[in-house]
Amino acid sequence: MEYVIVIHTAEEGGYWAEFPALPGCFTQGETIEEVLEDAPLAAQSHIEALREFGQPIPDEHLLVATIQIPTPSAA
């Protein structure tokens, strides 16, 4: 299975990531590489917990896009 993760800069330093298709599933690390290395175990543990509690395993149905916002002109 593949899941999208969104990586954020942590206020206290380092990074944290969330899995939009797996609400409540997060991971963190000092570097982006560390977050990416730890992400599969975080997702796997979350999915195992869902199974243990008889919850459905979400499929990834996520569209990621960017938008462009016009730059305000100087006054």
Would you list the domain boundaries of the chain?
Answer: 6-52
Report pTM.
Answer: 0.78
What does the pLDDT read at residue 51?
96
| Nearby residues of 45 by Cβ (< 8 Å), 6 or more positions away | none
Rounded to a whole number, what is the largest CA-CA distance in the chain?
59
Compute the mean pLDDT over every residue in the chain, rounded to the nearest whole number: 92
Do 29 and 15 touch, CB atoms closer than 8 A?
yes
Q: What is the pLDDT of residue 42?
A: 97
pLDDT tens figures, 35-69: 999 999 999 999 999 999 999 999 877 677 788 99
For residue 11, pLDDT over 80 is answered with yes
3-class secondary structure, 27: strand
Give one DSSP letter per residue of 46-62, joined into a string.
HHHHHHHTT--------
